[in-house]
Structure 1
Amino acid sequence: MELLKLAALDAEDLAVISTHLQDAILRTGDLAYLAQEHRFVLVARRFDWAAPDGEPPRRRLTGLHFERVLAVRTRGITPNPNSDAALELLAVTFEPAEPPSGTATLVFAGGAAIQLDLECIEVRMKDLGPVWEAEGRPDHAAVEAGRAAIAGQG
């Protein structure tokens, strides 16, 4: 399969990138805010949702960068370039402010999040090449059933 290369210049484009990054795994050491360049970058191991039926599930190494970043806030994450703490990316959302600015939020399992105040949406995602067989396929129905059971709804 060809390497995926996507760009987002509006909220709809960003939603497409979010879909491809759903269930991506990354480490806190794979995140960086380059304040002087107004850029936020990360490297993730994304689940390849486009893998052909009948083939084993797989993950791909993927780079993502946001341009025109004015500020970064984190919740439940301690940035550390030497950390191996794992994060599971659930979604990337966008809340508009005065057009074309707004806030992109990277939402992680366990309630962690990163908010990026953006001058405008300018995001690029690119597969970096390595691909490997995944241990399994994310099971969202099982996760929801587990949450319901914990909450006493199951």
Structure 2
Amino acid sequence: MDSLKLIALDETDLAVISACFQDAVFKTGDIAFLGKDKTFTLEGNRFVWEEGKDRKTFERRRSVLAVKQVQTVRSRGIDLKDAGTVHSLLAVTFAAGEEAPAGAIELILSGDAVIRLDVDCIEVQFADIGGGWETKFKPRHPVAS
């Protein structure tokens, strides 16, 4: 499979990146905010959803999400002092602010944790940065009834 390289400049694009990065696992230490550059990065091991559903083995790849034009970063449910804590990404969403195109990008994590990025606009890059490896475990989500 070819490596993914995507860019999001609107909510529709961001939804595609969210789907690709869903169920990525990462450690708190994989998060960085470069305030001078207004860039937030998160490196994680994503599940390769695009490879199909009916397989006996699956794949994960090392990937990076880079969010540009970030003014502030806030989090809930994350101990930033514990670099080794593992998190699972559920979704990447955008909430428009009072003055377009500004708003907030939220990284929704398992365990009711959230990383909120106040941004001037949606400018997100996503790329696989390493080769894939096999896994027998496919993420599962309970279906709401």
1:106 is aligned to 107
* Paired letter, 2:15: A
Query: 1:95 deviation in Å?
Result: 0.1
Query: 1:57 deviation in Å?
Result: 0.8
For structure 2, the 5+ residue unaligned runs are: none
* Paired letter, 1:29: G
Normalised by the length of structure 1, the TM-score is 0.87
1:152 is aligned to none
Structure with the higher strand share, 1 or 2: 2
RMSD: 1.6
Query: 1:55 deviation in Å?
Result: 5.6
Range 47-56 or range 102-111, more displaced: 47-56
* Paired letter, 1:64: L
Larger radius of gyration: 1
Maintained 8 Å contact 2:56/2:136: no
Measured in 2, the distance between the counterparts of 1:132 and 1:70 equals 35
* Paired letter, 1:36: K
How many pairs are equivalent? 143
Q: Tell whether 2:96 aligns with 1:96.
A: yes
Maintained 8 Å contact 2:74/2:117: yes
Q: Tell whether 2:41 aligns with 1:41.
A: yes
Question: What secondary structure is seen at the aligned counterpart in 1 of 2:49?
Answer: coil
Q: Tell whether 2:129 aligns with 1:128.
A: yes
* Paired letter, 1:21: F
For structure 1, the 5+ residue unaligned runs are: 149-154
Deviations 1:29-60 (CA, angstroms, capped at 9, x unpaired):
00001111100001010000011443611100
1:151 is aligned to none
Measured in 2, the distance between the counterparts of 1:117 and 1:134 equals 35
Equivalent residues in 2 for 1:1-154 (5 A)?
1-52=1-52, 53-54=54-55, 56-80=57-81, 83-97=83-97, 98-141=99-142, 144=143
Which aligned runs of 4 or more in structure 1 are off by greater than 4 angstroms? none
Deviations 1:127-147 (CA, angstroms, capped at 9, x unpaired):
012211123111113xx57xx
